[in-house]
Homo-oligomer: A and B are copies of this chain.
Amino acid sequence: MLAVTILGNNSALPAFDRHPTAQVVTMEDQIFLVDCGEGTQMQMAKYKIRRSKINYIFISHLHGDHYFGLIGLLTSMGLLGRTQDLHIYAPAALEGIIGLQLRVADIQLSYSLHFHPLGADGVIVREAKFEVSCFPVYHRIECWGFRFREVRPFRRVNPEKARQNEVPSSFFDRLKWGESYLRKDGILVENQSVTEPAAKAKSYAYAADTLFDQRIADYVKGVDLLYHETTYLKDLGEQAGKRFHSTTAQAATIAHLAGVHRLLIGHFSSKYEKLQPFEQEARDIFPNTDLAMEGVTYKV
């Protein structure tokens, strides 16, 4: 199971009851928090996201609408007596900001906070069942996108056939990863004769605030679901460029170039009350597009 729940879909100024950027990615038994604008902990309460299930937080960049809610969440976790470790991946300067705010409040967190400064694209978390990597996007200040990928066997064992071929069940895990089995009598049981293709491992990419840049299409190539910012409608392409943001048409073009399955758009400017035109414009270029709506979970 890989899914994304939107907690905030607006750009810098909160407006029309839309909130600054935050979303949670659910994968296996983990909940990842991606960006954490002001009020994220209240949004989590509203949408019944359990703070205690979060072990990893990823912050794309240090504009406030993407992280001003973080320190409140961290201190609340402490007040609730959290003991599990928490890992934060973010631009380096955030560590000093958090440290300073804890220091002036004379607060000792009840849990260990591990800060991992982002520095180069590539895998940043590698666990048995999932992998998270980061890639640069192109904003006014250092800014990162994140890619979440399930790690799962690509073959499914047919237990009946395996037993007929005298493969012991202790070898089944290796069958799932494509190995063939050499029996003691010297007969090789070809993997494909006792397995079938498994469901494909899913992937999700989050492209935070960025200019239109085709390099992003390379970084998110072939993901099942891509989130790409669309601060403006396509008629404001020049303004988008000046402010290091993207339009609907630009986000849809990246989705098309990257050959993703589905596109999710968000980070809408506060100047727009109605969001329908965003969907329409993006779908003109990339039909399988949806608006990122707060409180909605998008399954990958």
Interface 9-residue window, one of A34-42, A120-128, A188-196, A228-236: A34-42
Asked whether, in the complex, the Cβ of A72 is within 8 Å of the Cβ of B38, the reply is: yes
Alpha-carbon distance between A94 and B141 when the two chains are bound, in angstroms: 24
Q: Does A93 contact B (CB under 8 A)?
A: yes
Q: Does A1 contact B (CB under 8 A)?
A: no
Alpha-carbon distance between A20 and B19 when the two chains are bound, in angstroms: 17
Determine how many copies of this chain the complex contains: 2
Alpha-carbon distance between A38 and B71 when the two chains are bound, in angstroms: 10
Using a Cβ–Cβ cut-off of 8 Å, how many residues does chain A contribute to the interface with B?
Answer: 35
Return the chain B residue nearest A66 by Cβ.
B105
B-side contacts of A42, CB under 8 Å: 14, 19, 38-39
Asked whether, in the complex, the Cβ of A12 is within 8 Å of the Cβ of B106, the reply is: no
Q: What 0/1 pattern do residues 41 to 79 of A give for CB contact below 8 A with B? A: 110010000000000000000111100110110011001
B-side contacts of A72, CB under 8 Å: 20, 38, 64-65, 68
Alpha-carbon distance between A105 and B59 when the two chains are bound, in angstroms: 13
> In the complex, which residues 1-52 of chain A have their Cβ closer than 8 Å to any Cβ of chain B?
12-15, 19-20, 38-39, 41-42, 45
Q: Does A161 contact B (CB under 8 A)?
A: no
Q: Does A199 contact B (CB under 8 A)?
A: no
Interface 9-residue window, one of A95-103, A174-182, A246-254, A289-297: A95-103
| Contact (A76, B12) CB under 8 Å given A62-B105, A64-B105, A101-B64 | yes
Q: Does A187 contact B (CB under 8 A)?
A: no
Can you spell out 6 A-B residue pairs with CB atoms less than 8 angstroms apart?
Answer: A12-B79, A13-B79, A14-B42, A68-B71, A100-B100, A106-B141
Beyond the given pairs A38-B68, A68-B68, A97-B101, 17 more chain A to chain B contacts, judged by CB atoms under 8 angstroms and listed by A's residue number, are A12-B76, A13-B76, A13-B80, A14-B41, A14-B76, A20-B72, A38-B72, A39-B39, A62-B101, A64-B71, A68-B71, A93-B100, A96-B100, A100-B100, A104-B141, A105-B141, A106-B140
